[in-house]
């Protein structure tokens, strides 16, 4: 058994080391998975840079999703069988040939689905599904703004919002990504590094015109997003990518700047406009509402099988290219999902 350990915060070139992995048998509620592929998530970049509070102390194995085969299971696991091919949301530990994880984050997949695509369903689609269906309850005809829409969660949100008959505004940071958004069916693609998304939407539709905002950037993006909300509108925040900046060095200044640029909100302002500010954190959902995590994962696998969603894997890497893969994600080159094959 092998794993890529995160041994040092900072540059991807020096952050990871391939080591032998000592893994105990799964506990009563866990299965052990022999992995074909593990997925990358932006939270992994945040963990590498030292920004991710939930990350265990180093050296540790990070990684949120894998696809592979169950080779052992605990005595309380009755919904899964040894030998089944599965996709799984792991609570760290994914960058490994083998991982133990709670059965609530594990769903069977058929032999036809490509393993990298399956990893996109585990984290990014289940997050998007929980946010769009449970937290935001998107309705037909609603105007929806998705920040960083060309990314993994962003792509999933576009597809789930279009499935519900929403009008989608999607932001991204390059002209190539804008082309990608058009292909995904985004009605109003906006290059937010060239144009102020708030001014753009205000000019198109007026200030209080958006029913749902999905924000993974944080700070002033949330502040401006709230100003765009119509009465009855909701804003879901599920990330703060701007803290990462474009450097390998952790910056307290950037953390504080992001924190202060959120602005100040009063409960009465939400009450007066019947609006909501909602947080989404799938680790908390997995820990405290495991049946909901299971339902989200099962539902997205079914939607995939019915061709109602279509994850995009923009690049597959080999395990010995992990540093390159991390850099690719951090430097904003990816669209959709990135996966790493053993």
93 binds ligand NAP (CB under 6 A): no
Which string of b and e fits 141-151 if b means at least 16 CB within 10 Å? ebbbbbbbbbb
Among residues 152, 170, 189, 233, the one that binds ligand NAP under rule CB under 6 A: 152
Q: Which is nearer to ligand NAP, 56 or 74 (CB)?
A: 56
What DSSP assignment string belongs to 303-322? HHHTTS----EEEEEEGGGH
Q: For the chain, how many residues are written? A: 342
170 binds ligand NAP (CB under 6 A): no
154 binds ligand NAP (CB under 6 A): yes
Q: How far is the CB of 313 from ligand NAP (least distance, A)?
A: 11
Task: Tell me which stretch binds ligand NAP (CB under 6 A): 133-141, 148-156, 264-272, 299-307.
Answer: 148-156
Q: How far is the CB of 141 from ligand NAP (least distance, A)?
A: 26
How far is the C-alpha of 124 from the C-alpha of 240, rounded, in Å? Answer: 15
Q: Which is nearer to ligand NAP, 97 or 314 (CB)?
A: 314
177 binds ligand NAP (CB under 6 A): yes
Q: What is the SS3 string spanning the chain?
A: CEEEEECCCCCHHHHEEEEECCCCCCCCCEEEEEEEEEEECHHHHHHHHCCCCCCCCCCECCCCEEEEEEEEECCCCCCCCCCCEEEEECCCCCCECEEEEEHHHEEECCCCCCHHHHHHHHHHHHHHHHHHHHHCCCCCCCEEEECCCCCHHHHHHHHHHHHCCCEEEEEECCHHHHHHHHHCCCCEEEECCCCCHHHHHHHHHCCCCEEEEEECCCCHHHHHHHHHEEEEEEEEECCCHHHHCCCCCCCHHHHHHHHHHCCCCCHHHHHHHCCEEEECCHHHHHHHCHHHHHHHHHHHHHHHHCCCCCCCEEEEEEHHHHHHHHHHHHCCCCCEEEEEEC
316 binds ligand NAP (CB under 6 A): no
Task: Tell me which stretch binds ligand NAP (CB under 6 A): 70-78, 149-157, 201-209, 226-234.
Answer: 149-157
Task: Tell me which stretch binds ligand NAP (CB under 6 A): 15-23, 36-44, 71-79, 101-109.
Answer: 36-44
119 binds ligand NAP (CB under 6 A): no
User: Which residue in 46, 40, 11 sits closest to 217, CA to CA?
Assistant: 46
Among residues 66, 115, 148, 340, the one that binds ligand NAP under rule CB under 6 A: 148
Q: Which is nearer to ligand NAP, 73 or 123 (CB)?
A: 123
Q: How far is the CB of 332 from ligand NAP (least distance, A)?
A: 3
Q: Among all residues, whose Cβ is closest to ligand NAP?
A: 151
What is the three-class DSSP state of 101? strand
Among residues 107, 116, 280, 322, the one that binds ligand NAP under rule CB under 6 A: 280
Task: Show the binding pattern over residues 51-90: x = contacts ligand NAP (CB under 6 A), - = does not.
Answer: ----------------------------------------
Among residues 29, 251, 273, 281, the one that binds ligand NAP under rule CB under 6 A: 281
Q: Which is nearer to ligand NAP, 26 or 189 (CB)?
A: 189
244 binds ligand NAP (CB under 6 A): yes
153 binds ligand NAP (CB under 6 A): yes
Task: Tell me which stretch binds ligand NAP (CB under 6 A): 143-151, 159-167, 260-268, 296-304.
Answer: 143-151
How far does Cα 242 stand from its chain's mean position?
15
Q: How far is the CB of 334 from ligand NAP (least distance, A)?
A: 5
List of residues contacting ligand NAP (CB under 6 A): 41-43, 123-124, 127, 148, 150-154, 172-173, 177, 216-217, 238-239, 241-242, 244-245, 280-282, 330, 332, 334
């Amino acid at each position: 058994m092998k794993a890529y350990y995160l041994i040092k915060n900072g540059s991807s070139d020096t952050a990871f080391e391939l080591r032998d992995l000592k893994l105990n048998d799964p506990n009563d509620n866990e299965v052990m998975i022999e992995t074909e592929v593990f997925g990358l998530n932006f939270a992994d970049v945040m963990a590498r840079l030292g920004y991710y509070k939930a990350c265990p102390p180093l050296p540790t194995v990070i990684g949120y999703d894998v696809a592979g085969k169950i080779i052992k299971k605990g005595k309380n696991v009755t919904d899964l069988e040894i030998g089944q091919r599965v996709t799984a949301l792991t609570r760290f530990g994914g960058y490994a040939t083998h991982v133990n994880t709670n059965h609530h984050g594990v769903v069977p997949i058929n032999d036809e689905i490509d393993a990298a695509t399956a990893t996109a369903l585990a984290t990014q689609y289940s997050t998007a599904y929980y946010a769009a269906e449970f937290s935001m309850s998107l309705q037909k005809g609603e105007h929806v703004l998705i920040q960083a829409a060309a990314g993994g969660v962003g792509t999933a949100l576009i597809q789930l919002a279009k499935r519900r008959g929403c009008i989608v505004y999607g932001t991204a940071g390059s002209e190539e990504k804008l082309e990608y958004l058009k292909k995904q069916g985004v009605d109003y693609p906006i290059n937010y590094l060239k144009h102020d998304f708030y001014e753009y939407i205000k000019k198109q539709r007026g200030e209080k015109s958006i029913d749902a905002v999905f924000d993974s950037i944080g700070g002033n993006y949330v502040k401006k997003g709230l100003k765009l909300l119509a009465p009855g509108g909701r804003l879901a925040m599920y990330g703060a990518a701007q803290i990462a900046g474009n450097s390998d060095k952790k910056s307290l200044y950037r953390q504080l700047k992001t924190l202060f640029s959120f602005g100040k909100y009063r409960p009465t302002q939400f009450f007066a406009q019947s609006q909501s500010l909602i947080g989404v954190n799938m680790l908390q959902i997995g820990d405290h509402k495991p049946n909901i995590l299971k339902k989200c994962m099962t539902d997205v696998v079914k939607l995939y099988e019915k061709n109602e969603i279509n994850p995009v894997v923009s690049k597959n890497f080999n395990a010995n290219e992990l540093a390159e893969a991390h850099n690719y994600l951090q430097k904003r080159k990816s669209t959709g999902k990135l996966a790493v094959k053993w």
